[in-house]
Each structure stands twice: as structure tokens, then as C-alpha cells.
Structure 1
Amino acid sequence: MGRKQAIVIGAGVGGLSMGIRLQSLGFDTTIVEALDAPGGRAYVRREQGFTFDMGPTVITVPHFIEELFSLERDRANLTTEDFPSTIVDENKRIKEGISGGPNTSRYVQIVPILPFYRIYFDDGTFFDYDGDEAHTHEQILALGEPGDLEGYKRFHEQARAIFERGFLELGYTHFGDVGTMLKVAPDLLKLDAVRNLFRFSGRYFKSDKLRQVFTFEPLLVGGNPLSVPAIYAMIHFVEKTWGIHFAMGGTGALVQGFVKKFEDLGGKIKYNAPVSKINVTRKDGKKVATGVTLGDGLTMTADAVVSNADWATTYGKLIEPQYRFWNSDLRVKVSQQSMSVFVIYFGFKADGNETEKLRHHSIILGPRYEELLKDIFGRKILPKDFSQYLHLPTLTDPSLAPPGHHAAYTLVPMPNNKSGIDWSEVGDRLRDIVFDFLDERGYLPNLRERLVCHSYITPDYFENTLDAYAGNAFGLEPLLVQSAFFRPHNRSEDIHGLYLVGAGTQPGAGTPSVMMSAKMTARLVAEDYGVDDAIVSGQASPELSIR
């Protein structure tokens, strides 16, 4: 029997991770990408000598990356320990020297970033989060209220418990049936992990500032701190355990490393190849995916199809309604999509004073927190003020800009396109407001005089270019009712041979979660296509058979 064929839709981080894993499982895999280059949300924009990562810039859990770069052709390695004790040990954190592993370093250089974030409050005070226990305690004493330090210590232990159960033990659990979910529900209830994160933090902190410091992180994966379940407190511990990192050359360099690894394993990528349809047929009473049809009419056949496209787009646009029951048009319509973002990319002349206020990752919080979140997620209106994430990677890697210059982007959370906002009317005004703020508040003085180039994207970019439903920036919103079993499944319930990977499926959004989703989906493919223990251990020929 010949080798099985697989098609992956989309060359984002999820699609590339999946392609690498499929090659290691013994499939001949082709990734089809609508854009002219890889990356998806992690696409790269270049202008006048500046390099701008357009999407994710925060890298955590680098051993996930090392695992991908360590896979070999026709050797699945699915039996290796998911979280070896040597990398879970807090005393082995990346900042102490464990950076990108030996196989990662063949493709890309990853370096630690300290502090992880500098978090500014509207009154100009700030909190440097660096994972250092003593320094964290000092800042809590300086910024917090009486009792907040003891509260943090209790929060820390609770976050550790949630991390150990929710991430280390359940991280790769695919909730494909109700029973799997019911088995873990009592533990999550006992840990108080289903209460919303902001209320959860209120049990430990009196200070509004500290509640913001320890709840803002879900925004980086499209979650509302006022509504995400407290299981997201584990992000704090994930970062504390393994640190925050940066790929030299930008996230785009990591993407290119994944491309090279995939091609080294024998995989192929087609660019400028949008998919217009996932082909389905009925066979032996079952609905079976047989391949895809591209926008130019070319039909490609495959034994397995994996979509890294947006979940709502996959089912709502690429599959005809008669082949869908569980993922119907109604489910797509009533689903809650994550927020979107307004991002300005800009290159400017350095004045040598950038580090007086800014760090590689700076979070600049506005005068409102709860009400701003309600504007974005609930009321879906254009806020009267804003918070932003300012990324200044040239503090770490000057090669991303011409000599004497910086490349930066600033990301402003915004409602998705369910808001009805006409971004063509407000885009220029928003850009000017943000630039004026950065100048007048002293984050980047005289910015306008120093600007060399700038551009921006709005939720329309996500809807029209990336084909993300309603212009969402992170897939489905991570609500309790859209988590675990209630989140789209990595193996389609409707169509045999169809699988999903990426932010819209389990476990969720964020670069590490997307890589985790690829491993989860690869396991399901291995189950369905009879990849036996010999192939997993690399001792057999790569022939596959369907169970």
C-alpha cells in the first residue's frame, strides 16, 4: 500500500506544526496557503528596511518548539513524555540558561526576554513582571494595599495548583465526549477554576492595580478577564515557569524555521492557493472528506484533510450545509467570537532614550479597566479611551530596522465586526489618537517628527484578508461555554477524515496552545489511520493502514 496523502489548509503556526507532525506520522503532506507567504496571523510586513511581525510576538514554553524541531520523518515520537521533569522544575527556568534546545537552534535562535512585561498604569506607575519572586514581592508591597502580599502568595499557590492540573496533567486531553469532561469537572470546581478570572483575583487582591496585573494576560489570547474561567490563571504560572522569549529575526523567523523543517521532512507548500471548498462524498453510509478544491478550480485529493482555517470559516464557507449537523450554520451564527484588534506598525528614528520608559513588551493600561472591557466585549462599541500593548523588538534585535532606527507595533484591543463600526472612517483618527498619546505621555516623545513609515490594520483585515469570521483576531472567545468539550473538536463530528487545528479548536488560542492542538490532532489522526507502535518508535516501514 502506498503512503497516505494529507492536505493541511493554512500555513499558520497551527498548520505548519500539523504538517510537521503528519510527515512524522508517515503521510505525504501538502499545505495550501491563500497568502503569498507563510504565517497566517503571524505574517510578516516589510517596508523601507523595517521588519514587522504582524501578529504573535510573545513566545512561551519553548520546549514545545524543540519537540517539533526534533521530530523525524516517519518517526512520530508520540510516546515521549509530554512535560519532562527537567523542564517543569522552576529552578531550570529559561532565564537561567535553558533557551532554545539543540534542534531548535539549527533553525532559529530563541532568547529570553526580561522583564516579561512592563505594565504601566494610567497614573504613570508601573509593574515589571519578571518571574523573580523577591522582586515581585517588593513591587506588590510598593503598589498594593495591606494584605496584598499575603494574598499574592495564596494566589500563587492556587495558580500553581490550576497549572499542575489544568496544564501539566490535562494539557493534551482532547475533550471529544461528555464523559471525558465530566471526569475532570469535579477537580476544576474544587480548584475554583470555573469562576471568572477577575472575580477569582478579587479573593486575593484589594488593589485594583494588582488585579489588573494578574488578570490582563488572557487579553493576549482574545479573552475577556471579566468572563474567562479562572483556569486562565495558569498563564501566570506558565510564564513564571518557562519565561517569555523572542525569536531573533522576529516571529517570522520562527515561522520560516517551521517551513524549513516541514520541507526537510519532505512536505510541500503551495502559496497563493486559497481553498474554495472541502470536498465531501458519501461512502458506506458515512460522509468522508476526499480533498479540496482551490480557488482556480484545481482539485486535490487526500486521505485526510486538516483545516487550520478559522473554525467558522471552515464549516460556514468551505463545507456544504448538507454535510454538517453538529457544526451547522446556526452554531456558527450564535458562537461568540473573540475580540479584534487595531494594530499600528511604525518605523522611527531612535533618540537613544527609548529604554527610559519602555521595554521589549510594554502594556499601557488606560484610565478604565472593567468598563473598557465591557465596551469591547459586551457593548461592542468604539471605546472613548484605550489600553495598548507596545512591542519594541529592536531593543532586543536591532537587525529588524535600519541602523539608528526602531521597528515597533502597538496593538489596541477593539470590538470585532459584530460591532458594525466602519473602520475605514475611524482608522486614521484612531492612528492619530494613539500617536498623540505615545508622544504626549512621554513614551515616545516627538514621535511624529521621527516617523519614517507607518501603516495599520483593523478588524477588516482579519475578516477580509485572513478570512476570520466577524473579524475575530483569536478565534472563538474563551468562555466557559466555549471551552473543553464545548469548544470545536479537533476531529470533525460531521465528516470522517476531516480534522481541525489552531486557535479555533481545542485547547484554544495562543502560540503554545496552537502547537498543543497540533499534537492533539496528530494523536487523533494516528488513532484513525492505524499508526502502530512500530511506526511511532520508528522501527517499521512507513506504510499506513486504516483501521
Structure 2
Amino acid sequence: MSKKIIVIGAGPGGLAASMLLAHKGYDVHVYEKQSFIGGRTSHLQLGDYRFDVGPTFLNMTYLAEEMFALTGRNIHDYVKLMNLDPMYELVYKDKRIKITRNPEEMIRQINELFPGNYGSYERYLLETHKKLETLAPLLQSDMTGYRSLMTPKAMKALKELEIGNSLMDTLGKFFKEEELRLAFTFQSKYLGMSPWESPGAFSILSYIEHAYGVYHIEGGLNQLTKAMAKVAEEEGAVITTGNGVKRIVTEGRVVKGVELESGEVVYADDVVINGDFASVMTKLVEPGLLKKYSPEKLAKKSYSCSGVLLYLGVNKKFDLPHHTIWFAEDYRKNVAQITNTLELSEDPSIYIQNACVSDPTLAPEGKSTLYVLAPVPNNFSNIDWNSCRDEYRDMLLGLVSEKLGIDDINDYIEESHMITPADFEVDYEVYKGAIFNLGHQLRQMMAFRPNNKFEELDHCYLVGGGTHPGSGLPIIIESARITANLILKRDKQTPYDVQPLPPYELYKGQPKDEKSSNVAAIQMKPATSI
């Protein structure tokens, strides 16, 4: 008789774990509180307009491809991946740069907009490639317990962690101007952190984009979680929506099952938690049972920022790339207000996704979906979103109008919806509205992050942004493989393989002069695309 596993939450981590475990013969049951699957990687339908609720950037597509391949499937039979190039546009006060995977075009733009950085992009690619090669095995391995930090691969990676260097420090080795460094450090927003505080090791985030690209999925990234749910069910997993977990049933420190909101108690051999880590630990675990991650200690941890999201269905097409980011005039002050002083900025940075420029399936002909995000403090700030909600919405819409060069975006809005940090906490069970989970300071990474095999409860495992390797859609999917392999190894089953990084060639020489840089030698092979 196969072992029974309960998965709490049908987000991407829980669905990926369900795929992998069901494929190995486990009796998998997923319980989701919401009436839909995907969590924040779900969709929002406003009339004829369709939006992704949360993630809109998809990179490291090779990880998603691997997860499907491990179950004997081809991801391209389930979703249509669309390679975006340019990947996105960055807008400063007096200049803009289109970020592309074409190295010659990147170098041309850098030399034109930021003279004096000759050869910097090539060096960045070469050196960060080596860093990724060293760090990738660490990020794809079990880091349970402090002894995992003593392994040869962990010791080898120690130098690349750049302890004591911020992300800005690290990129300063390559690029002179702060504005140029922002093009390679703003990705710390994927972790909900400031580039002046994010560890230098995360220079791999921007490199991964330049090496492997940024993708969209036709219909939105929500289609990926739907595809994973379909595979899980094809493998025999049972997914129940609209009946979440009320509490985790324990005997001492041994997890025995769950009590559902319906009152039913379901027993299992193991429970895999995909819910927001701090939220689950404070709400679903018996009070007094946890020591290391008690509610009091969780409140003292560092957490990521939050965000205000506007979803606008507009009866107009805009000459705007798929992804555009406008930096605040004083970006450093802006991120300090978000992460340190915990106040709303009068000069916020904003991101707009104009997905219909690539994917017309999301809106009626001649119309557009605009997804607007402004990073803001999490709910440790005590900002009263009930009282300032309308004022902040009006301010954001004014900024959108200004950025798009129109008088008033309200003239074109047919459908709209807004999500604030308060909404994330209440409607999506996100602890303190911290949408990127626990912070990614080194003291909260690897073995110092809640372990995939949860150290405080037996027969309890974690997936998602609150465990190793961390936050971000592809990384969350990787957490599912790590966790599935821990269960498989315990049960003496063959674990899933981890593939090496996809191959590509990098520029090997050094530029001879400004007229002859040999940049044509930089050839990057993208992950499989259609």
C-alpha cells in the first residue's frame, strides 16, 4: 500500500511536489483553501480582461522544463512559452535602456548611455557565469542542518557568497555609474530587498536573465500552475479546492494529518506545507509546540517588502514593451523607505506589464491589460491601507498617466482591481503582507532558512518561498524537487536527478580595443523555446 501524503496549498511549490511524488507512486492529496488553484500564481478575470495575480516574469525556464520531463512529459505540450526580446525596458530620469540578450546590442547601449564602461559587460558575463556554476549545486541541494554547510560544495561556494558585500558592491566591480548598476541589481526586488542590502551573491539573478532569457506564457504565468495541476491529477493526485486546512494534527512533535475547515480530520504518513511559512506556523500549529519558529520568534525575523497592485482593463493599445520599470528619481531613498523606514514614498518606482503587446489573448481586440506594481513596505509598517487606499490608487493612476504620456488613464479604464498589503495578508494568508516571504539575508539562507525537512516537526516537509532555496517562481519549483527527493531518499527510493546548467558559449577573450571587441564570440544558447 502506497504512503499517503497531504499537501497544504495548491501553489506552484505544492503542485510541483504533487507531480513528483505522485509520479513515484505516493497517494497525494492536495487541500487548497481558495476556490481556485495557483495561490498568487493564479489568474484574475475582470470582465473580458485576464491578468496574472502575482508573478509576471518567468526565467530559468529550464527548471520548469525539467520538472515536466521528470514525469515523462514535455512542458511544451501543456503551455506555450514565449521568449521576450527585449526582455524589458528600464527608464531613468533622463535615459532609457532596453535590456536584451543580444550582447552586441547591450554593449552598444552601455557605451552610448554610459561611456567609460568599455569591456565591463563582457567581464560581468564571464565572472558571474563562474559564480552561477559554483552556486547552482548549492541552490539545488538539500541544506538540512548546519552540517550541510561543511560539505565540499558548500565550502567551495563560500567565496562566491561574497559575505560582507552588498549586491551594489558586487556590481560596482564591473560598472561605474549607479544608474548602470541598477540595471543589474534591481532584480533584488524579486526577493523583496534593497540592492544596497541584498547579498552580493545575488548578482546571479540578473545574469540568469541575460544568459537564459525572460519568458511569458500565452494566457499568463497562471497557465503553468494549471499545467502542473493537470499533470499531478494525471499521475493520480487528488486536488481539493475550497476546503483549506484548519490545523495540523500532531501527537507530540509528530505530524499525523490535518483537520480541514469542513471539520473532517484526514490522516497521512507525511504532510508537505506549501502555505506561507510564517502564516502557517502561527495559525495552523498548536500553540506552544514550536520553539525555534514560535510566533514570538517569527515576529523578530526579517521579511521582504510588499506591493500595491493595480489591474487595469483599458480600451486602448499602448506603445509600451511587455515589461517596463520606471526608477524613482532617488531610487536609494525609495528602497530605504520601503525596507527601512517603512513609509510610503512620494516618488515611488513603478512597474507596468503591457502583456497584450505579446499576448493578445488577454484582452479584446484593440484593448489592453495593464498590470501596475509599486513596491511598498510590508505590514510591520502599520500603514492603515483602509484609510489611504483611495488616495494611493489615485496617486498611482496619476503616475501611470504621466509615464504613458496621456492626460488621464481613467478615461480608458473599463475594469480595475486593486490589491494592497492588507489584502495580501487577509485574502492570501501572506504573513504581514510580505509577498516575497522571509528576507534573503545570509543569516536566513540555506541551512539558516527553515529546512525543507522541517526541523521542529517529524513527518513534516516544506516547499515554497519560506524554505530553501528561497523566493521566486522557478526557485519555488526547485524547492519541490529538493523536498520530494528527501522523502524519496528516506523511503529508499531513487531520487530525481538534477541536470547541469543548460549549455552555452561565452566570450572567451579580452577586448582588444573599442573598435574591435570580439563580442560576436558571446553566443548564449537559450532554454528551449517555441
Q: TM-score, normalised by structure 1?
A: 0.87
Q: Please say if residues 446 and 468 of structure 2, whose CA atoms lie closer than 8 Å, have aligned partners that are also in contact.
A: yes
Report how far residue 364 of structure 1 moved.
1.0
The gaps in structure 2 that reach 5 residues or longer are 498-530
Q: Please say if residues 222 and 509 of structure 1, whose CA atoms lie closer than 8 Å, have aligned partners that are also in contact.
A: no
Measured at CA, do residues 406 and 152 of structure 1 come closer, stay the same or move farther in structure 2, by a change above 3 Å?
Answer: same
Superposition pairs of residues 151-170 of structure 1, within 5 angstroms: 151-167=120-136, 169-170=137-138
Which residue of structure 2 aligns with residue 544 of structure 1?
none
Give the letter for the 1:33 counterpart.
E
Alignment equivalent of 1:323, drawn from 289, 303, 310? 289
Report how far residue 383 of structure 1 moved.
1.2
Distance between the aligned counterparts of 1:378 and 1:164, measured in 2? 33
Alignment equivalent of 2:148, drawn from 175, 180, 184? 180
Distance between the aligned counterparts of 1:44 and 1:331, measured in 2? 34
Distance between the aligned counterparts of 1:441 and 1:68, measured in 2? 39
Alignment equivalent of 1:307, drawn from 260, 267, 273? 273
Which residue of structure 2 aligns with residue 53 of structure 1?
52
Measured at CA, do residues 6 and 113 of structure 1 come closer, stay the same or move farther in structure 2, by a change above 3 Å?
Answer: same
Which residue of structure 2 aligns with residue 27 of structure 1?
26
Aligned length: 495
Matched, 1:115 2:81: no
CA deviation vs aligned residue, 1:225-277 (integer Å, no higher than 9, x gap): 11111111111221122211111011122221111111111111111112111
Report how far residue 405 of structure 1 moved.
0.5
Superposition pairs of residues 22-171 of structure 1, within 5 angstroms: 22-72=21-71, 103-123=74-94, 125-146=95-116, 148-167=117-136, 169-171=137-139
Q: Please say if residues 326 and 350 of structure 2, whose CA atoms lie closer than 8 Å, have aligned partners that are also in contact.
A: yes
Give the letter for the 2:299 counterpart.
K
Report how far residue 188 of structure 1 moved.
4.0
CA deviation vs aligned residue, 1:132-157 (integer Å, no higher than 9, x gap): 111111111112142x2333333332
Report how far residue 120 of structure 1 moved.
0.7
Give the letter for the 2:79 counterpart.
V
Matched residue of 1:312: which SS?
A: helix
Aligned sequence identity (%) = 30
After superposing the two structures, state which structure 1 stretch, 151-160 or 37-46, moved more. Answer: 151-160
Distance between the aligned counterparts of 1:175 and 1:303, measured in 2? 23
Give the letter for the 2:34 counterpart.
L
Q: Please say if residues 112 and 246 of structure 1, whose CA atoms lie closer than 8 Å, have aligned partners that are also in contact.
A: yes
Which residue of structure 1 aligns with residue 198 of structure 2?
228
Alignment equivalent of 2:348, drawn from 377, 382, 386? 386
Q: Please say if residues 138 and 154 of structure 2, whose CA atoms lie closer than 8 Å, have aligned partners that are also in contact.
A: no
Distance between the aligned counterparts of 2:161 and 2:140, measured in 1? 21
Superposition pairs of residues 335-350 of structure 1, within 5 angstroms: 335-350=301-316
Measured at CA, do residues 23 and 127 of structure 1 come closer, stay the same or move farther in structure 2, by a change above 3 Å?
Answer: same
Q: Please say if residues 310 and 475 of structure 1, whose CA atoms lie closer than 8 Å, have aligned partners that are also in contact.
A: yes
Matched, 1:193 2:192: no
Matched, 1:281 2:258: no
Distance between the aligned counterparts of 2:403 and 2:352, measured in 1? 14
Which residue of structure 2 aligns with residue 472 of structure 1?
434
Give the letter for the 1:140 counterpart.
I
Superposition pairs of residues 311-460 of structure 1, within 5 angstroms: 311-351=277-317, 354-355=318-319, 358-443=320-405, 446-460=408-422
Matched residue of 1:502: which SS?
A: coil
Distance between the aligned counterparts of 2:336 and 2:84, measured in 1? 32
Give the letter for the 1:41 counterpart.
R
Which residue of structure 1 aligns with residue 469 of structure 2?
507
Give the letter for the 2:145 counterpart.
D
Which residue of structure 1 aligns with residue 8 of structure 2?
9
Matched residue of 1:216: which SS?
A: helix
Measured at CA, do residues 444 and 325 of structure 1 come closer, stay the same or move farther in structure 2, by a change above 3 Å?
Answer: same
Distance between the aligned counterparts of 1:323 and 1:342, measured in 2? 35
Distance between the aligned counterparts of 1:182 and 1:158, measured in 2? 24
After superposing the two structures, state which structure 1 stretch, 430-439 or 445-454, moved more. Answer: 445-454
Q: TM-score, normalised by structure 2?
A: 0.90
Q: Please say if residues 372 and 383 of structure 1, whose CA atoms lie closer than 8 Å, have aligned partners that are also in contact.
A: yes
Alignment equivalent of 1:218, drawn from 179, 188, 195? 188
Matched residue of 2:197: which SS?
A: coil
Report how far residue 528 of structure 1 moved.
2.1
Which residue of structure 2 aligns with residue 206 of structure 1?
176
Give the letter for the 2:26 counterpart.
F
Which residue of structure 2 aligns with residue 524 of structure 1?
486
Measured at CA, do residues 161 and 532 of structure 1 come closer, stay the same or move farther in structure 2, by a change above 3 Å?
Answer: closer
CA RMSD across the alignment: 1.8
Measured at CA, do residues 71 and 161 of structure 1 come closer, stay the same or move farther in structure 2, by a change above 3 Å?
Answer: closer
After superposing the two structures, state which structure 1 stretch, 340-349 or 59-68, moved more. Answer: 59-68
Report how far residue 445 of structure 1 moved.
5.5
CA deviation vs aligned residue, 1:404-461 (integer Å, no higher than 9, x gap): 1001211100000000001112121121112112222335554221111111100012
Report how far residue 347 of structure 1 moved.
0.6
Which residue of structure 1 aligns with residue 520 of structure 2?
none
The gaps in structure 1 that reach 5 residues or longer are 76-101, 537-547
Q: Please say if residues 438 and 445 of structure 1, whose CA atoms lie closer than 8 Å, have aligned partners that are also in contact.
A: no
Matched residue of 2:311: which SS?
A: strand
Give the letter for the 1:198 counterpart.
M
Distance between the aligned counterparts of 1:438 and 1:309, measured in 2? 33
Distance between the aligned counterparts of 1:227 and 1:331, measured in 2? 22
Measured at CA, do residues 500 and 476 of structure 1 come closer, stay the same or move farther in structure 2, by a change above 3 Å?
Answer: same
Q: Please say if residues 20 and 71 of structure 1, whose CA atoms lie closer than 8 Å, have aligned partners that are also in contact.
A: no
Measured at CA, do residues 430 and 313 of structure 1 come closer, stay the same or move farther in structure 2, by a change above 3 Å?
Answer: same
